[in-house]
Every structure is written in structure tokens, then in C-alpha cells.
Structure 1
Amino acid sequence: MSACGAGTPMSSKINSSKEGSEVFERVADSAVRWEVDEQVELRATVAMETQATIDSDVIEAMAAVESGERERPFGMTLEAQERWEAREAEVQRTRAREDRSQTSKREAVCRGMSEAQCGQETVERVNPMDDLDTETRRAVETQAARIASRVRCGMAQSGIAVRIAERVNAGVEFQMAVLDTLDEVKATPGALVPIDEIGTVGRSEVDIEGRISKLWTPSHPSIAQVGLLEDETGTVKFTSWARSNQPWLAAGDVVRLRNVAWNYYGNRVSVALTGWSAVVFR
């Protein structure tokens, strides 16, 4: 009885220690598993891997461009392409500068030089009339007055004299200088050309002034009016087209016809009022 009684407490202690050890191991194992579960494995998504591949290709493409193996990169994102184009543009701007510096002061230096030169330079106006002798100068002034009276509303008389003097100083014969200046004044827009000199004007439209001396019935519905215009130098036939929408003219009216087209009809000069023409009653 004593042996059996003495053995029972010993076995219970051993069983208790085993159970405690197993409980401790289970708690430790669960702690380890819990700790491992908290460490989440980070993996790249498919989109991230794709973008990484593209970026890697962009870097390689950039290197190929810089080494001259490729003209321009391809297969890059829009952001990468814009960044590359901006970089290339900056490189070209830097190479275009004289000092080839990122912090160029070229604009400031140029501005300073311009300000310094503007304070020193003076513009001298030379009158070509001063280079002529007294007799030639009087002849120039006479011819300038004659041209100004013949071709009205064109160049001023003083300007005509200057143009004649410039040609004479350049070595042109006097009479030829006068004729060349007359042609120039007649070709000036807005100048009133005498009727007998319409055919000598070097442009297809002229301004003339005169009195309506005669009107007759148009020969075609497309013609609104047809008649004769005269001044102290001659007479010219005029035609007013219906589509030009010009004002109605009457015999005896003194009018100024601006920007009328002229041409030869047979062997004589005639003018036509178009949509670009204008009629001014005097």
C-alpha cells in the first residue's frame, strides 16, 4: 500500500510537467506563427512590373541616343518623352549661345552695348538740294512746281524737288531726271493723273478727275453706264459695270474717279469703274 501510495504523487507530477511543457511549446509556436503572419510579403503588381520595364527601356534608349546609336528614343511614356524633348531643346539653346553657358548674359551685354551706341550716334539729314549750284537749283524748283501742278494730290512739291535733285546728284542727265520723277509721281497712289497721260502710268489703276461730257445707252445689261469724261488735257471713255454698284452719274457732273482700271480699247485708252473704284462728286 505504501509503495502504491508513494508512486501515485510522482506520476502526477511528471504528467503535470509534460502538460506544462506542451502548453508552453504550443504558445511559443503560435507566437512564432503570429509573428510570421505579420510580415507580409511585398510583391510588384503586373502594372508596376510593366512600368518598370518601360522605364528601364527608356534609360537604355536615352543612353543609346547620347552615344549616337539611335536618333531618338522610342517606347517611352508621354511624360518621359516630354522630358527628353525638353532636355534636347535646352541642349540646342545652349549650343546656339556664343558663350555656351547655362547662365548666359548675352542679352544683358547686348542691351548695354545698344544703350551706349544710341547715346553716341546722331543721324545727319542731308538735303540733296544743297549740293546743286544756284542755276540748277532754280531749274529743279521750276520743274518740281510744274510736275506738282500737272499731277495733283500726289507727292508734295518739296518732295518732288528732292527726288529730282537726288537723281541729278547721282549723275542722271537733268531732263531724264525730270521725266523719271514725273513717272514716279504719277505712279504714286492717290495722285490725279491727266487724262492724256493715263497710258504712261506704270500701274493698272489710276485716279482721274474731269467733267461728264456725254452719256449714251449701254449695249449690254451688264453695263450700268457708259460715257465720256474730259479734262483740260483730253477725253477718255469710261464704263461703269452693273455689279460694281457705283453711284449714278449725269452729264455735266464734275467727278473724281479713284482706283479705276485702265486699258486699251482698240488704239485708245478707256477706263472702267469696278467694285474697288470710288466716285467723289466735286
Structure 2
Amino acid sequence: MSSNNASGKVVSVDEQALEQADEAEVDADGFEVVDETPEFKATVKQETQAKVDANHPDGIVETDEERIQGATLEQEERINAREAELERISAKAELGTQDGRAKRARDIAAERSKERRREFQKRAASVDPMADPDRLDPREELSQDELASVNEQTQRLSEKLDGWTRAAISRRLAERVVEGASMMSAVVGVHGELQTAPGHVIPIGKLEDVNRKEVSISGRVETLWEPSHPSIAQVGLIEDESGRTRVTVWENSNAPWMEEGERVCIRGAARNWYEGRVSLAVTGWTTIQFPERGRWWE
């Protein structure tokens, strides 16, 4: 019984051939169509060489534009990393060269400026020996008693002259003493010189002694009166302990409004003459400050 079951499952050779014939393509005459196209297969040697070429950078054809042609992924990563490192080193070297060039340019410019300043001082020394850059500190040429007197007078002048260091005052005093001036004459001369120096607030009583167009003063508004012309915003008198002067504030200056009795500091006022006396004009280049405005105790 078992043999009958086994034989029922066996397929004969003819049946297999018949099944294959049913699946095969036949022509109009009923004959099987044979594919005569030769099949090419790689030899063992060719397959081995193909594997070698696959690992060689020149043996890969890559169509992706973002990939490196002729390189594996591992090789591409190494190449990209190396190129990035080279770019970083190149950029750092270029930046360092630029920084060095800029520093050298600054050093050269500073040296040339120093040389020009020295040449100017040399020319000025032909008129004023004290301007000679090779001249020693004049205080070194004073005797011990003279230096003591200079230091004493420097202390007194520093209390009267705002914005000047004791070193600058003592040097100017020593220069005048070395030139042959008496101590009293040196003190008077240095006081007047530094008191009216450019950029410093000068006493109103010294305005006539100043030989420059713009000056700075500080004082109290004594009186204001009606302007005589529409182009004038304000006009009045400002005074301090040394004197008083007329101040005209032009409309185009856009200066802040002044009030009678308040203290003002005017910097960069134009120096003019009015009826034979010096006067000041507030222009667009002038600044007006009010030291006492906005104080919390008022």
C-alpha cells in the first residue's frame, strides 16, 4: 500500500519534458525556439581582477555629482577631512600673514611719525632751544636751591591752574629759570601762558590777551536784553572774577536757552570785537554747559 502511494507522486521523464515543452516558446511550425545568443561568463581571473579594481580609486565609476569620482566612501571621507584640514591651515597662515603685515605697517607708520616729529622739533629748536628733542630735562640743570623754589611755586600754581599736572608746570618753570628769568618773572609768565592755553577755560579778563579765534570761558549770566535782529537768539553779559564780556547767541547755533543769574561754561566761542572791546559769539560749533542745572538739592 505504501508502494502505491509513492508511485503516485513520481513524475516521469517524458512528463517533465512535456511540461518544459509547454513552457518553452515554439514557432509557427511547432518547433521550439532556441536562443542562439551566446552567454558570456567571467573567468576566475577576471572576477579576481574585478575585485581588485573595485578597491582602486580609478576603478570606480560614480555618477553622483556630490561624490568624489573614483573613490570609495572610506576614501572619500579621508579625502574630505584632509582637504578641510588643508583649508584651515591655509586660512590660518594667510590670516597670520595679514596680521603680521598690518602690525608691520603700523610699526613703520609710528616710526615715520616719530621721525617727522623729531625733525620738526629740531627745526623749532633753531628758534626755541627748549624745543630741542635732545635737550635734557631743564630741571636737571637747576641747582638744589632753584629746584626747591620751582617745586614750591609749582605747588602754588597747581592750585590755580585747572587741567595742568604738576610735572608740566614745574618743567615750564624750570625752562624759564634756565633761560635766565627770575623766579617771580617765571611764575608770572608760566601762569599767564598756561591760563590762556588752547583748550582750557580762560578768565574773561584775559580775552584781549589771547591771540586766537576760538576761546572757552566760564562765568555767570549777569544780564540779558532784547536782540536787535531776528537772526540773534540771545544777547547779554557774562562775568567772572576777572571781568565781563558781551556774548551773542546766533539763532542758527541752536544753542540751549540761558537764564539770568545762572552759571554757564561756553566752549569754542568765536572771539570778535564790538565797539573796541572783545566779545564772544556762540555759533554752531560752540557748546554751552550749565554746571548748576539739575542739582538734586535745588
* TM-score, with structure 2 as normaliser: 0.47
* TM-score, with structure 1 as normaliser: 0.50
